[in-house]
Structure 1
Amino acid sequence: MHGFLRRFLAPRWQHADAQVRCQAAGRLDPARPDQRQALERLCLDDDPRVRRAALGRLDDPEALLRLLAQRPDNPELHGYLTELLCGQTGGLELPRRQALVEQLDDATLLAAIALQGDNQQLRLAALARLDEEEALIRQACDNGIAAVRHAAAARVTSEAGLQRLAQQARRDRQVMRQARERLNRLRADAASLKAARQRRETLLASLEAHARAPWEPLYAGRYRHLVREWEALEDLPDASQEQRFQDASLRCRKVITDHEAREHAHAAANRRHEQATEAREALLEALEESLAGLPRGDTLNEQDIASLRSQRLLLANRWQALSDLHVTDEALRQRYDAVMADYDRVIAAWERLVARREELEAALADHDHQRLTACLKACDWPGDLPDTPLLKRARDELAGASARQSEDLDAQLARFGEDLALLEQLLDRGAFKGASRLHQSLKHRAETLPAAQLRPHQASLKRLGARLAELRDWRGFVAGPKREQLCQAIDELANDGGLADAELDRRHRQLVRDWKGLGDAAAKRELSERFRAASDRIHERLGPWRDRLAAERTRNLEAREALCEQLEALLASPADNADPDALRQIRDQARQEWRRHSPVPREQAEAVGRRFGRIRHALQGLIDQRAEEVAEAKRQLIDQARTLLEQRMPPAARAEEAKALQQRWRQLGRAPRGEEQALWRTFRELCDQIFAAREAQREDHVQRARQRLDEMQALIDRLDAWHPTRHADGEVLEQAIDQAAALEPLPSGRRTEGMRRRWSGIVRARRERLTRLAVVEEIQRWQACRPLLDAHLQADATLLEGGEAESIPLDDGLALPADMIAAHEQRNASRRQPAEPEAITEQLARLRVHLSLLAMGRVHQHDEPLRLAIQVERLNEGLGRELTRAEEVRAVLRSLLATGPVSPEQWQREVGEFDALLTRLTQLPPP
């Protein structure tokens, strides 16, 4: 019951029947708020009839737009809003509608308003809110207002959209033309961008290839050239291209930096080589001075020989170490061999003397002169060396007592006193060995001098002998604890099992050197045997290690000898075109290999070192020879480049020849170090001059091309501002075309393409205007003939009414061309032999159709057979030369003048059409 009452008492606009709701909507008052809300709810009803009835009662666009936001799929609401905003209903003012359109977001509603709006500004406002390109294309093709079509077409930017516009915008040829132009420009820009990107890719590929190439003299210059070309490109690279460029640039700079580092290393190696040479010279000079100082001394003793051996050992070790690092000059090697020969001669003489020392001392003790002579002969002591004390004693003994007695006694005593003073100085300095040898000599000489004369020196000799004994005791007092310490240290070293073999050998050698440095001071048999026993244990312990070391030294020696054999084989048969850089690499690798195989046995170290030094010297000589040959070849290339620079030839061809020379330069290798840079600077300066001439020519070409472009632009502007007023002005157009042809060829590019399109359009427009002017001039001349035509028509009418055939004379003041005079005479003749009226009617129709084709390009449907016949005749007549439009108009008018006799009825039927067509032909295009 309650549901029935609720349905019975509910308002009619909420009735279940759609027809009732529709009727209720027509009775609702939109001025009342409650009924207005009911109308708004009915606008969203499920039944279309109810929605249409409710929408017809509302005229508030804001409320309707709110409802549209709730139900965007409501077609009735869409349609009513379209009619309301387009001004088709509702009577809303234009500013209000335009303000509402500027706030809309519904693309469908906006498209409908842009197509159906009653005002151009309203349509443009709706178009401005459209963003989808499909909607813009539809507006550009279908909109009824040209401004809206053009505005929509201007916002189409994609290539596909422009292509659709060019194909579908048949309603507006301007839109179609602009779409084609923008499409062509877009494609030209895309092609230009693609070409620029291709140039950048090509340049980037060249830079990456250059980064992978090894260094050569032109490497840095080519890298800078590629970077300048990259920076000169107008388009911007993308992120990947920029990253590739930075990576390639980094690799190129690394190659350049590595080369500079190698150059610095070579320079440092040269400095080290010079320092090594100076060190060799210093060592040689020291040994040479020592050998040269031997003959200047009074005697030669063991200390001198020990010092000489020490210097020789130092020289040999240092020389070998330096030879392992640097090649020895031939002059220094010869000096070294000479010094070694002198040293060997002195040492050999000393060893012969040492071998016969005991025999000489025994012969001296026995005063056996025969044995002394034999021993001296066996010693074969060099005459340029001073005698040793033993030799001097032997020679003095052989000289005999008479020779000794004959010597001045005072001089011997004076020398004895001087030696005593020298002995005292040696004792003051603590020089025990020198003082001991000098004291023995003084004691021996004291035995040979008379006791009476020697008595003043006896006390000094005893006192100095006592000081020498005290010094000997003191040395023994100091050396005793030292020997105990050394014995204890070597025992501890022998018992220490945790040391490595190399460290054990180093400490053992140091202890042995310290023990030997004590000499015979505090020498005791027990300590010596103890020290020797510990040393023997260490030697026994180091035996396997020394065997391994000896084996390693033997292997290193074999490797060094094999290396020498390989290098000798290389030097025995070098290649004629051996690359100096390859030889330098072999030299450096051989040096590294030599250092790696170290140490070698001491006995063979010096010999194999000398052998390697000679090989390296020969290899360096081969390198210098090949480098000099390269330098000579590069000097020839420099001469060729200089000759190329002086030749009269195109700069581009000269640059290509220079590139070939640069390629040959890179293939030659390097000249000697100091000369390579100088040659390269000279060659690069010549190449720079060649390329600068080419760049100057290119710049000149670019400047001339730019000048031609400017002249072409000025010509286009001048022709664009020029508007011919008579057909005779065509000479101005032909002169401009000749000037444009003289400016060809123009450089390629977007500017040139745009200029050519504009030039073609202007020339086409000016030719069309000149053609129209020629037609206008023909029609003006025809207007001057109208009195003559009227006279012929009057004569025709008289003839057709039964009168006589009258010939119309020419007016003397009327100047007609020959073809028009012939037509005039033909018209007079046609009245004497008149044709059939049907033929005259057909001829007039043909002339009208022909003139209509010339004026409008189309004819009526019933004139289509005549149009086809006329076009066939035009094609046949145009086989030899195609007639211009003015000539065709003139031919038609000439035929019109010659056609007769024409009745007034026939003329009245055609004259209006003829006048309209002639008036249309006199209309000129806008300037």
Structure 2
Amino acid sequence: MSGWIASGWLRRWLAPRWQHPDPEIRRQAALRLEPGKDAEHRQLARLARDPDAGVRQAALSRLVAPRPLLAWLGDEAASQELRHRLVELLSGRDGDLPLAERLPLVETLEDADLLEALALEGDNQQLRLAALARIDDEARLIRQACDNGIAGVRRAAAERITSEAGLTRLAREARRDKQVARQARKALAALRANESQAREALAARERLLETVEQQAQAPWEPLFGGRFRHLQREWEALQSPPSRAQELRYQEACLRCRKILSDHEARHQAHQAATQRQADADQVRRELVEALEESLSALQRSDLLTAQDIASLQSQKRLLATRWQALSDQHVPDADLRRRYDQALSDYDTITQAWEGLRGPTAAIEEALTQADPAALAAALADCPWPDHLPPTPLLKRARAALERSDAAEADQQPSLAWLDKELDELQHLLERGAFKGASRLHQSLRHRLEGVSGEAYAPALARFRRLAAQLAELRDWRGFVAGPKRDQLCQAIEALAEETQLGDRELDHQHRRLVKEWKELGSAAATRDLAERFRAASDRIHERLAPWKSARQAERQRHLEAREALCEQLEALLAHPDPAADPDALREIRDRAREQWRHHSPVPREQAESIGRRFGRIRHDLQGLIDRRAQEIAGAKRELIDAARELLDDAAPIDRRTTEAKRLQQRWRSLGRAPKGEEQILWREFRGLCDQLFAHREAERDDLARRAKARLDTMQTLIDRLDAWQPQVSGDAETLDRAIAEAEALEPLPSGRRSEGMRRRWSGIVRARRERLLRLAVSEEVARWQALRPLLDAHLAADAQALAGESSAEVPEPATLEGDMRQAHERRNAARRQPSSTQEVEEQLIRLRVHLALLAGEPVGQQDEPLRLAIQVERLNEGRGRELSRAEEVHAVLRELLATGPIPAELWAREVHDLDTLLARLWHLPPP
């Protein structure tokens, strides 16, 4: 023990004075250090952070350069003495730093307390204004406006106060400067007037905005557009600018109104366009049907039915069928119009079938006419399936006329004049047309009937017959004159063509057909056996050469026919068992591909072309009807989706759930397929508009959540600033801290983000610092209460000395203010003198209490007391398993035991009291606020 004391004394004796344990010696050493020397400057820097305030003040008084001190200002250990020294240096009260160097330093300061002090104490108005410009806290600005000694600074501070609460306080507290008070009252009146006008304008704009939003929710009606434009003009006429939220709401409502107008206009235009297209298609179809019906009717009313009439009718029917199908692909025809079209096609089929059926009996009729065999002619006409309601062909007409003449000859050898005039008119008509073959046959028949006819009554008719016979002879001579060179030319051309080897098969067939057609058109004019045999021989050679190509072409046409029939069968199977959920787009693709395949498989045999074409036309019509039905079903399903979206818009469920359901509806919309053309766009615009409104509501709600989150963050920031500016003065201020913590917990959860994380870290640090200060305050208060008990302790020490000296001592009376466990400790101390313990036990107890206090004060202990310190720490850990005592409670417990320990010898107390007082002083010392 004595060796340790000696070594400690030696260290104190040899240590530098600025490191001496005694604060007074360190303070005196600091006053002697020179800051101009680097080593002593570093020593002053360390002493400026000394735990003792006097040492810090002495060290800082020796430093005159403010820049290093400003660097220390940001440390956590920055002291009040440091701020005071900076105020002295920067304000000009101490040091000789010129204003030009002090101003840049002031303009970089962030410490609000230091800035406020400089604004109040600066030696120059410019310096004060520079410090004032760095102050943002309104409360500090109010103090400057009220208490600053320079009028210019007061007014500059007053000009920066803009809040109503700040102006009200400034007008009430600015008694030193009437001009500042008057300025504050004027600004307050203007602010309140502006706020009143702003509130009125905001209310007016809000009422107008609600009207616009109601208009956006209303359905379309004739006055919708005019009312919307009137509301727009009223909105633009308002003077006050809208808030961002109001502008967003207004733009959203305007978008909905414009969408309602555009949707109505689009629906109206689409409906008009669809109606017009339907009407145009019906009109074109009606014109086509009427044209075909008129042609059929005119054909049936005509006198003769010629090959030219049939060819013209077939061409008209093909054109009509093509255009009818193209129009039916776009719009389904009317049922009555469809029936008229089918009836017209039926009449057309009757005529064409009759014409095709006439090809067989034609040869027999011509043979009977040539041989003038009435019986064979009658039999041939009987076998001819020609409808009675159709006009006869020229051949049938001649045959019937010949048969009538034969019947008339049998009944009466002399033909009637009326019949004769009729036949002569027919002969003249044939000659005028140049129909040599028909005219020749009729002339031969008439000549046979007029043999033996005489009399004055027949003289004009016979003269007319002779003139017509002369014309026929002239026509025969002319045809022979023209046809002779032509026939020779055709023979040479076909022989040259038969020898041609460079032409392809298709071109060869085309030219061969052309030459054969020209040969047949010559009829019997200038016909000779040699030319006919030459022409036929060359034609046969061409036929033999083209036989493989024609066979291949016929096979190809047959394959095309089979492919078309297979295509028709597939489409008929599809139409026979249609899928109830078939996609119209897929059906449209099937229709288009079928049309492409139909065109690809061409040509087909001529005999089946008409029937297979009608079959495919009916299939296309039925397929288009299926597409239209499915498209209408999809349109109905999409209208149901629109109704569901409208219900979601009016639902009160959470917006996230409604938008999720809207997304599901959109997926369902995409999976349905397309509605009819024109209607799809209208339905989509309506559905998309409803979904856009839902998502706009979601965005508005998110903006509202963001505003509320920002409000919570601002409130939390205000709470943090308030708690940061607050310093507890007594331990009872813990209730204020608890209330602040409750307020912070009520604001949770804060929105995620760096700002929130920074707030939480700052809040945790402030709360931790305030709790630490409250604990230090509680310990300081406990030490202060102990200091108040020093007279009682001194009385006990005096009584202990009398008891240890063997003198009788009276009990120390109990003070009136003593209470609780301290009263019990006082009673134990009195009792201990009556039954004193050994001096060694008292010494051990006193040392234990000193080591415990050192442990609580965070001070080191001697080497000989280290085991005791470890033992006390273990006891503290064991005792803290149930409820850990605070440091103030432990200090109270140690002081209570110190009061109860006794009797203490005077020399023992004199040895320990200095360390106990030092430790208590350390516990009593508070950190700067």
TM-score, normalised relative to structure 2: 0.59
Task: Name which of 747, 750, 756 aligns with 1:752.
Answer: 756
The structure-2 alpha-carbon separation of the partners of 1:316 and 1:860, relative to structure 1 and needing over 3 Å to count, comes to same
Take 2:510 and 2:278, find their aligned partners in 1: how far apart are those partners?
A: 31
Identity of aligned residues (%): 55
Match of 1:849 in 2: 851
Instruction: Decide whether the 8 Å contact of 1:797 with 1:902 is kept in 2.
Output: yes
Verify the 8 A CA contact 1:775 1:886 in the aligned structure 2: yes
CA distance in 2, matches of 1:922, 1:596: 108
1:912 maps to 2:911: no
Relative to 1, partners in 2 of residues 1:807 and 1:626: Cα closer, same or farther, differing over 3 Å?
A: same
SS at match of 1:542: helix
1:606 corresponds to 2:615: no
Corresponding residue of 2:349:
341
Q: How big is each residue's C-alpha offset from its partner over 1:741-769, in whole Å with a ceiling of 9 and x where there is no partner?
A: 11111222333222222221111111111
CA distance in structure 2 between the aligned counterparts of 1:460 and 1:881, rounded to whole angstroms? 151
Amino acid at match of 1:833: Q
Provide the secondary structure at the position in 1 that maps to 2:873: helix
Match of 2:896 in 1: 894
Give the Cα separation in 2 of the matches to 1:440 and 1:517.
19
1-structure distance, mates of 2:386, 2:572? 41
- Paired residue secondary structure (1:648): coil
| Structure 1 residue 495, shift from structure 2 partner | 1.4
Once residues 119 and 351 of structure 1 are traced to their aligned partners in structure 2, the CA distance between those partners, rounded to angstroms, is: 137
Per-residue deviation, 1:500? 1.8
- Counterpart residue identity of residue 347, structure 2: V
Cα-to-partner distance string for 1:448-503 (whole Å, 9 max, x where unaligned): 99997999999999889878876776666555555444433333322121222122
Residue 537 of structure 1, CA deviation: 1.6
**1:727 and 1:864 mapped to 2: Cα distance?**
32
Q: For 1:32-51, list aligned pairs within 5 A.
A: none
Pairing of 1:594-673 with structure 2 (within 5 A)? 594-673=598-677
Residue of 835, 838, 858 corresponding to 1:836: 838
Asked whether 1:735 is paired with 2:743, we answer: no
Counterpart contact for 1:287–1:312, Cα < 8 Å: no
Distance 1:273 1:512 in 2: 49
Partner of residue 289 from structure 1, selected from 294, 315, 333:
294
Q: What is aligned with 1:216?
A: none
Q: Secondary structure at the match of 2:729?
A: coil
**Alpha-carbon distance in 2 for matches of 1:716, 1:923:** 27
Map of 2:309 onto structure 1: 307
Residue 433 and residue 925 in structure 1: after superposition, are their counterparts in 2 closer, same or farther (change >3 A)?
Answer: farther
Q: Given the alignment of the two structures, is residue 536 of structure 1 paired with residue 544 of structure 2, yes or no? A: no
Deviation at 1:676, TM superposition (A): 4.0
* In 1: Cα distance, 2:293 partner to 2:494 partner: 39
- What secondary structure, in the 3-state scheme, does the structure 1 residue paired with 2:301 have? coil
Q: Which amino acid aligns with 1:550?
A: Q
Tell which deviates more after alignment, 870-879 or 908-917.
870-879
* Equivalent AA in structure 1 for residue 346 of structure 2: A
Equivalent position SS for 1:910: helix
- Report the Cα distance in structure 1 between the residues aligned to 2:360 and 2:601, rounded to whole angstroms: 37
Query: Which residue type is aligned with residue 341 of structure 1?
Result: D
Q: What is the alpha-carbon distance in structure 1 between the residues aligned to residue 723 and residue 707 of structure 2?
A: 24
Q: Distance in 2 between matches of 1:372 and 1:480?
A: 33
Conserved? CA contact 2:408–2:415, under 8 Å: no
1:473/1:308 CA distance change after superposition, 3 Å: same
Q: Give the drift of 1:545.
A: 1.1
Q: CA deviation at 1:923?
A: 2.5
Cα shift readout 1:524-550 (whole Å, capped 9, x = no counterpart): 554444333322221111111111222
Corresponding letter in the other structure for 1:292: S
Instruction: Write out aligned runs for 1:102-181 (5 A).
Output: none
Check the 8 A contact 2:436/2:476 in 1, yes or no.
Answer: no
Which is worse superposed, 504-513 or 271-280?
A: 271-280
1:377-401, CA deviations, whole angstroms, 9 ceiling, x for partnerless residues?
Answer: 6657644344665335755776799
Letter in 2 for 1:787: P
* Deviation for aligned residue 1:638: 3.8
Map 1:207-218; keep pairs closer than 5 Å: none
Mapping 1:66-85, distance limit 5 Å: none
Contact residue 637 and residue 661 of structure 1 kept, 8 A: yes
Distance 1:525 1:784 in 2: 163
Q: Distance in 1 between matches of 2:357 and 2:573?
A: 40
Is the deviation greater in 446-455 or in 547-556? 446-455
CA–CA separation in structure 1 for the residues paired with 2:42 and 2:516: 123
Q: In the superposition, relative to structure 1, how do residues 706 and 523 fare at CA in structure 2: closer, same or farther (>3 Å)?
A: farther
The equivalent of 2:701 in structure 1 is: 697
> 1:124-152: per-residue Cα shift (whole Å, max 9, x none)?
xxxxxxxxxxxxxxxxxxxxx9989x99x
Residue 833 (structure 1) shift: 3.1
> Aligned pair in 2 of structure 1 residues 489, 715: CA closer, same or farther (>3 Å)?
farther
1:69-114 CA-to-partner distances (Å, cap 9, x unmatched) read xxxxxxxxxxxxxxxxxxxxxxxxx99x9xxxxxxxxxxxxxxxxx
The amino acid of 1:760's aligned partner reads S
Tell me if structure 2 keeps the 8 A contact 1:273–1:326. Answer: no
SS of alignment partner, residue 752 of structure 2? coil
- Which amino acid in structure 2 is aligned with residue 845 of structure 1? I
In structure 1, list runs of 5 or more residues that go unmatched.
1-93, 98-116, 122-144, 152-270
Report the CA distance between 1:816 and its aligned residue: 3.8
* Contact kept? 1:559, 1:597, Cα under 8 Å: yes
Equivalent residues of 2:845, 2:901 under 8 A apart: yes
Cross-structure match for 1:805: 809
Q: 2:892 aligns to what SS in structure 1?
A: helix
User: What per-residue deviation string (whole Å, max 9, x for no partner) do you get for residues 413-461 of structure 1?
Assistant: 9x999999x979x96xxx5349986997999699799997999999999
Aligned to 1:167: none
CA distance in 1, matches of 2:524, 2:725: 125
Q: Is the 8 A contact 1:416 1:442 kept in 2?
A: no
Alignment match of 1:495 (pick from 480, 499, 506): 499
CA distance in 1, matches of 2:675, 2:644: 18
- Compute the displacement of 1:906 (Å): 1.6
**C-alpha RMSD over aligned residues:** 5.2
CA distance, structure 2, for counterparts of residue 120 and residue 285 of structure 1: 120
Residues in 1 aligned to 2:562 and 2:548: alpha-carbon distance in whole angstroms: 21
Out of 557, 573, 587, the position equivalent to 1:553 is 557
Output the CA distance in 2 between the equivalents of 1:403 and 1:279: 57
Q: Distance in 2 between matches of 1:671 and 1:781?
A: 91
Residue in structure 1 matched with residue 823 of structure 2 by the alignment: 821
| Secondary structure at 2:749 match in 1 | coil
Shift of residue 558, structure 1, vs aligned partner: 3.0
AA at the equivalent of 2:899: L
SS at match of 2:603: coil
- Label 1:377 to 1:878 Cα distance change in 2 as closer, same or farther (>3 A): closer
Structure 2 equivalent of residue 875 of structure 1: 877
What amino acid maps onto 1:289 in structure 2? E
- SS of alignment partner, residue 602 of structure 2: coil
Q: Give the drift of 1:645.
A: 3.9
Work out the CA distance in 1 between the residues paired with 2:620 and 2:429. Answer: 53
Return closer, same or farther for 1:669/1:598 CA change in 2, 3 Å cut-off: same
Asked if structure 2 preserves the Cα contact closer than 8 Å seen for 1:419 and 1:438, the reply is no
Question: Against the structure 1 CA distance between its residues 362 and 562, is the aligned structure 2 distance closer, same or farther, given a 3 Å change threshold?
Answer: closer
Q: Report the Cα offset of residue 890 of structure 1.
A: 1.9
1:652 shift after superposition:
2.0
- Paired residue type of 1:706: K
Aligned to 2:775: 771
* Residue of structure 1 equivalent to 2:789: 785
Q: Are the counterparts in 2 of residues 563 and 590 from structure 1 also a CA contact under 8 Å?
A: yes
The question of whether the paired residues in 2 share the 8 Å contact of 1:631 and 1:671 is answered with yes
Offset of 1:292 from its aligned partner? 1.1
1:714 lines up with 2:718 in the alignment: yes
**Separation in 2 of the partners of 1:548 and 1:419?**
47
Unaligned 5+ segments in structure 2 are 1-35, 46-68, 76-275
TM-score by length of structure 1 reads 0.59
